[in-house]
Amino acid sequence: MIPPAFDYARPESVEEAVRALAQAGEEAKVLAGGQSLLPLLRLRLAFPELVVDVGRIPQLRGVREDGDSLVIGAMTTHHDVIRDPLVRRHAGLLAQATATVADPAVRHRGTLGGSLAHADPAGDLPAVVLALDAELVAAGPAGRRTIPAREFFLDYLQSALSPDELLVEVRVPKTDGWSFHYEKFHRVAQAWAIVGVAALVRRENGQIVEARVGLTNMGATPLRAAAAEQALTGAGDPQAVARAAEAAAEGTRPAQDVSASPEYRGHLARVLTRRAVLTATGMG
Amino acid sequence: MTDQAVEREVGRSRLRKEDARLITGQTNWTDNIQVAGLLHLAILRSPMAHARIERIDVSPALERPGVVAAFSGADLAEGLGSLPCAWPVTEDIVLPDHPPVAVDEVRYAGDPVAVVVARDRYAAADALEAIEVDYDPLPPVLDLEAALAEDAPLVHADKGTNRCYTWPLATGESFESVRQRAEVIVKRRYHQQRLIPNAMEPRAVVVTPLAASGEYTVYSSTQIPHILRIMLSVVTGVPEHKLRVIAPDVGGGFGSKLQVYGEEALALAVARRIGRPVKWTESRSEGYLATHHGRGMIQDVEVAATREGRLLGLKVDLIADMGAYLMLVTPGIPILGAFMYPAIYKMDAYDFTCTGVFTTRTPTDAYRGAGRPEATFAIERIMDELAVELGLDPVEVRRRNWIRHEEFPYTSVAGLTYDTGNYEAATEKALALFGYDDLRAEQHKRNERGDPVRLGIGVSTYTEMCGLAPSRVLRDLRYAAGGWEAASIRMLPTGKVEVVTGTSPHGQSHVTCWSQIAADVLGVPFEDVEVLHGDTKAAPQGMDTYGSRSLVVGGSAVHRAAEKVVEKARKVAAHLLEASAQDLEFTGGVFSVKGSPEARKSIQEVAFETFSSHDLPDGMEPTINAEHLVDPENFSYPHGTHLCAVEVDTETGRTSIRSYVCVDDVGRVVNPMIVEGQVHGGLAQGIAQALYEEAVYDDEGNLVSGTMADYLVPSAADLPDFVTDRTETPAASNPLGVKGVGEAGTIASTPAVVNAVVDALRPLGVHDVRMPCTPERVWRAVRSATAGEEASP
C-alpha cells in the first residue's frame, strides 16, 4: 500500500528530537528502524502528521558497561545487539532472543528501542527485558526518567512513554551466573511468536533459587509468569520443573487470532516454560 | 570437425542467460516503465463481501490535489464489457456478468467500486479516501454446501442459484457394479483449502495510447500477452490490430497471471477515455484480495477394491469454490483434475462429478498444478487409507495397482493415453535414496517406546497431464481456444540467431533453454542465440505459458523451426559448394561435401550469403528463416515418486520435515540445473499447502489472512534439503522427448507430506488432519484421539 502524507524530521541530537516530538503533540511517531511503523503506515493503520527519524543520532547507538548493568542505546540494531561482546557475556538471554527476531533484513534495520517502544506483546524483546528486570530510560522536555520494565508496558501497543518522550536507553542488569533460554514457537522463520518464553534461573547446589519467566504473546502486554516463577523456586529435577511449569499460563488472557486459540496458547505456555527452564539448566 | 568435438547443448546445466538481469533487477518490470505524462490509477475496493451499492459519489475525490479523473462503475460501463470466461465447461453453465468495476452490487471483499486517476501513486491513494459509498449489506455466501441449499442467499440473485455447473464423467464399468463386487470400500472427505498464489512481482499494467492512430500499447505483468490482446479487444472494443501487448520481464505467476484482469481492461479503458498513459501497480495486500486464488474444494472420494488390494473403481464428488465470478478458466480448473484422479493406477470403473459453486469470495482460477494437485492429493491420501484397511505397506498397495512399464502406451480408465512411463524404476530409486526400510525400523522403535516426537513416512506417486494441449481435445472440453504453439527463427546477416517464441516466460528460463535447443539443431554457439518473447509485435503468434506446456509444445516448435532453417540452408550451401543437397553432411553447424571435407560452408556463412542474395539457387526465396507451429498430438505425462519423513512433536503439534526425496521422470532434460530449480520451487509450494498456507475468511466474508504476516509463505529457512533425482523415460509425443516440469513438485509433495503427518500419528488413533496441518490442528487431533474421542481434525 501507499502511506498517507506526513512531515519528516531527522534530528541530530536527543534534545532536538524531544523538541520535535513536543511540538507535534499526539501527532508524531518516532521512526526507530521502521520495521513495525512502515507496515502500519503502508496499511494506513497509522496516520502521523510527523515522523521523527532518530536514526542519525550517534549517542543512541552502542553498548557500554555501567557497574552492574549494561546500557544499550535505544537505536542499537538487533544485529549489533546479537554481536556485541558485552551483551553476549552479561546478558546472554537478550542476545539469544534477539537472534530469533524475524529475518536478517529486519535484524539489520530494526532496533532494540524501537521494538520495546512499539510494545507489541507478540514481539520477542518486551518479554525478554521484562524477565531481565531491565529499566528503560526516557528523555522528555523535563529531562530523563527511568521506568522499570514492569511499569513500561501498559496495554496492547501502548507503553508508558508520553508523546513527547523518546526512549533513549535500556539498562539491563548483568545476569552473570544465571542460566537462560528463550523458547520461541512460531510457524515459519520470519513469523511472530505464537507464544515465546524467556526463562532466567539462578541455581545453588542444583536447585533453582530464583526464576524469572517472561511470556511473549500471552496477553495484551508481555507478562511475567509469576505463579510458575514461584513454583520453580526449589525445583531440583525435571519432574519438579514440569510440575512448576503447569502454572505458566495462570492469570494470562491470550488472544484468539488466525494462528492460534487462547486454549492452545495456554497449553504452549506450559510446555514451552518447561522446555525453556530445562534447556536453560541443562536438566532436560 | 568430428562428431566428438561437438558438445551437445541439450542436457547441459548452462547458467541462465536471464540471471544477470533478473538477479540484479536491471530489468524491465512493468512497474519500472516510465513514460512522459504518466498518470497513476488507484482502485477503491469493497470492504464488504456482499452488498448493494446504494449510492456512490466520486466527485469529492476530484477536489483532492493531483487528481485528474475519477470514475464509478457506472461511469465506466459504456465501452467496458464483461470480463471473459473462456471455458464454459457445460452447455447450461451459469455465466454471470462480470463488470471490471462493480455497478450496483459488490460480491467479494476487494471487488472494485471506483477508480481514481492522479499525477502520482500517492495522490491517487489519498484521493480514494474521499470517495463516498453507501453500502446496503447482503448476506455473505461462504459455505460451499450451504450455498447449494434451496433457500440459500444468492451471490447472483438474477441467476436464481449458486450452482454454476455440474460436470459429470463416468467411464469404464459402472461404479455401482464394481461396488457390488468389492470386498473393501474406503470413503473419505478431503478439503482443499484456498491458497493465495504470491508471485514475487505483484501485478502491474501500463497503457500508452497513441491518440492520432487509435493505437494502444499495454504492458502487463502477465503470463499470456497473446490471449490478453484478443480478450482486451473483445472487452474494450479496441480493434485487435490496434493493440500491442507486451509482457516485459515478469516476476513469477504460478497461474495467477494466466488471467484477463479487470485492472488490465480498466487501465486500457481509462487511457482511452482521457488520452493519457496510465499505470496501475498492485500492492501485496491488495493482491491478496484482487488476484485470483487457487484450490478451494471439498472432495468426497470412494475407492472399491479387492481384499488383495486391487482397485476396482473410484468415485469422486467435488464441490469447487468458483468465488464470486467466473474468470478466464475458473470453471475448467477442477476439470483439468478430473482426468487425473485415477492417476497411475489401473481400475475398472471411474465416476466423477464436479459441482461449481459461487461464493462471495475472490474468484478462484489456475494455481500451480491447477486441478491436478487436488486430484493427486485425493487419490494418494486414500491409497494410504486403503493400505491401512488392508494391512499393507503403502508402497505395496501402489505397486499392486500401477501400470507396469511394459504396458505402455496405456489408456487410463479416464480415457487418457499415457505414452510412456516407468513407475517401478522411479519408485525403486526413490526408496533406495530415502532409506525406506531403515526409517520404518526407526519409526517402529519410536512408537514402541512412546516417543512424544513421532516419525512419519509419507509416499506419493503421481502423473500429470502436461503440455497443454491438443486443440481438438480442448474443443471437446469446450475450451474456447487451441493449444498449439509457434516459433520462428531468424538467421541474422552476421551469423547471430533470433528465436522468436510464442511462449511467455515468467521465471522458467525459456531464453536459456530455447537457446540450447536452437544451438544444437543449428550447430551455432549458445551465446549466438537470442530469444524474443512476450511482445505481440515481436512474437505475433503464440498461446503463452501455463500448464507445463512451454517446453513440450513451444520447445518442440523451436526444434522444428530450426530443422526447417537447416533444410533451407542446405539448399543454399549445396548451390554455393556446387554439390547436390543429398551429398552434404551437416555437423557442428557446417555443411560439407561427403568425400571432400575441404568443401565446406558454415550455416552462419550461409546466413550472410542469403542476406546478400548474390548467388542463390534459381527461384529461391531469399531467406533461410523459418517458422513452425506445433499442435501437440497428445498430452505429456511426467511422473515420479516422492517420499517424505516428518517428525511430529505431539506435545506442541509441530511438524518438521526431516528428509525429502523425489525421483521425477520429466523425460529428456534440456538443462538439469533448471529442472532441479523448478522441482525445488514446486516442492516448496506443495509443502506450503500441506503445512502452512491458507486463505482464511471470517463469518462475514472478510479475508483474515490478508497480509504476509498472517498468510504464511515458508522460506528456505523452513524447508529441508531436498534430495532430487530423476529417471529419464522420453516422451513419445514430441521430437525432444520432453514432458514438462513446472508443476511436478507441487503436485506430488502435498500428499507426501500429509501422508507422513498422518502416518506419524496413526498409532495414536489419528486418521486425518485437515490442511494446512498447523501445530494447533495436529495438537487437537492428537488430544481428541488420545482422549478416546472421535478425531475431529
Contact B779 A42 (CB under 8 A): no
Give the 3-state secondary structure percentages of chain A, helix then strand then coil, rounded to 5: 35, 25, 35
What is the spatial distance between Cα A113 and Cα A126, in angstroms, rounded to a whole number? 10
pTM value > 0.95? yes
| Nearest CB partner across the interface for A258, out of B283, B651, B705 | B705
Closest CA to B538 of B248, B254, B747, B748: B248
- Interchain CB contact of A256 with B (< 8 Å): no
What is the spatial distance between Cα A277 and Cα A240, in angstroms, rounded to a whole number? 11
Report how far apart, in Å, the C-alpha atoms of B220 and of each of A53, B133, B285, B362, B501 are: 37, 30, 19, 21, 18
> Where are the domains positioned within chain A?
1-57+64-175, 179-281
pLDDT at B604: 97
pLDDT at A55: 95
Q: Is B577 helix (H, G, I), strand (E, B) or coil?
A: helix
Closest CA to B683 of B712, B649, B707, B718: B718
| Nearest CB partner across the interface for B775, out of A103, A187, A189 | A187
In chain B, the residue whose alpha carbon lies closest to the alpha carbon of A104 is: B717
Residue pairs between chains A and B whose CB atoms are closer than 8 Å: 65
B1, pLDDT greater than 80: no
> Which fold, A1-57+64-175?
3.30.465
CA atoms within 13 A on the CB side of B577: 29
pLDDT at B793: 44
When mean pLDDT is compared across B25-29, B643-647, B745-749, the lowest value belongs to B25-29
B535, pLDDT greater than 80: yes
Mind telling me how many Å the CA of A210 is from chain B's nearest CA? 27
Report how far apart, in Å, the C-alpha atoms of B539 and of each of A3, A63, A279, B238, B320 are: 39, 60, 62, 20, 36
Query: What residues of B are in the A interface, CB distance below 8 Å?
Result: 42, 121-122, 124-126, 283, 285-286, 651-652, 654, 692, 696, 704-705, 707, 709-710, 712-715, 717-718, 774-776, 779-780
What rounded mean pLDDT belongs to chain B? 96
Q: Is A189 helix (H, G, I), strand (E, B) or coil?
A: coil
CB atoms within 10 A of CB B461: 27
| Nearest CB partner across the interface for B651, out of A39, A103, A271 | A271
Evaluate the CA torsion angle A21, A25, A28, A29 in order and state its sign: positive
Could you tell me whether strands B497-501 and B485-491 are parallel, antiparallel, or unpaired per DSSP bridges?
antiparallel
pLDDT at B15: 97
Maximum CA pair distance of chain A?
61
* Residue to substitute from A188, A261, A270, A278, interface B, most B β-carbons within 10 A: A188
B789, pLDDT greater than 80: no
Which three three-digit cell numbers place residue B505?
516466460
**Confidence class of residue B5 from pLDDT cuts 50, 70 and 90?**
low
Using the CB atoms, write b or e for A69-97: b if 16+ within 10 Å. Answer: bbbbbbbbbbbbbbebebbeebbbbbbbb
Q: State pLDDT tens for residues B497-510.
A: 999 999 999 999 99
Q: What Rg, from alpha-carbon coordinates, does chain A have?
A: 19
What is the spatial distance between Cα A92 and Cα B606, in angstroms, rounded to a whole number? 73
| Nearest CB partner across the interface for B776, out of A191, A192, A264 | A264
Measured in residues, chain B has a length of 793
pLDDT at B302: 98
What is the spatial distance between Cα A88 and Cα B606, in angstroms, rounded to a whole number? 71
CATH code linked to domain A179-281: 3.30.390.50
Q: State pLDDT tens for residues B574-609.
A: 999 999 999 999 999 999 999 998 999 999 999 999
pLDDT at B597: 85
Chain A 76-115, CB below 8 Å of chain B: which residues? Answer: 103
Q: Is A204 helix (H, G, I), strand (E, B) or coil?
A: strand
Contact B709 A192 (CB under 8 A): yes
pLDDT at B788: 63
What is the spatial distance between Cα A67 and Cα A70, in angstroms, rounded to a whole number? 8
Contacts of B696 (CB under 8 A, 6+ apart): A258, B703, B704, B705, B710
- Write the ipTM: 0.96
Chain A residues closer than 8 Å to B713 by CB: 188
Q: State pLDDT tens for residues B625-634.
A: 999 999 999 9
| Nearest CB partner across the interface for A258, out of B692, B704, B779 | B704
pLDDT at B744: 94
Chain B residues closer than 8 Å to A5 by CB: 122, 126
Mind telling me how many Å the CA of B129 is from chain A's nearest CA? 10
| Nearest CB partner across the interface for A188, out of B707, B714, B776 | B714
**Confidence class of residue B790 from pLDDT cuts 50, 70 and 90?**
very low
- Interchain CB contact of A180 with B (< 8 Å): no
B418, pLDDT greater than 80: yes
**DSSP assigned state of B673:** H
- Interchain CB contact of A45 with B (< 8 Å): no
**Confidence class of residue B2 from pLDDT cuts 50, 70 and 90?**
very low
pLDDT at B582: 94
Chain A residues closer than 8 Å to B692 by CB: 187-188
pLDDT at B791: 43
Contacts of A173 (CB under 8 A, 6+ apart): A68, A69, A132, A133, A134
pLDDT at B792: 45
Q: What Rg, from alpha-carbon coordinates, does chain B have?
A: 28
* Residue % of chain B over a pLDDT of 90: 96
Is A179-281 in the same CATH topology as A1-57+64-175? no
Q: 535505544: which residue's cell?
A: A74
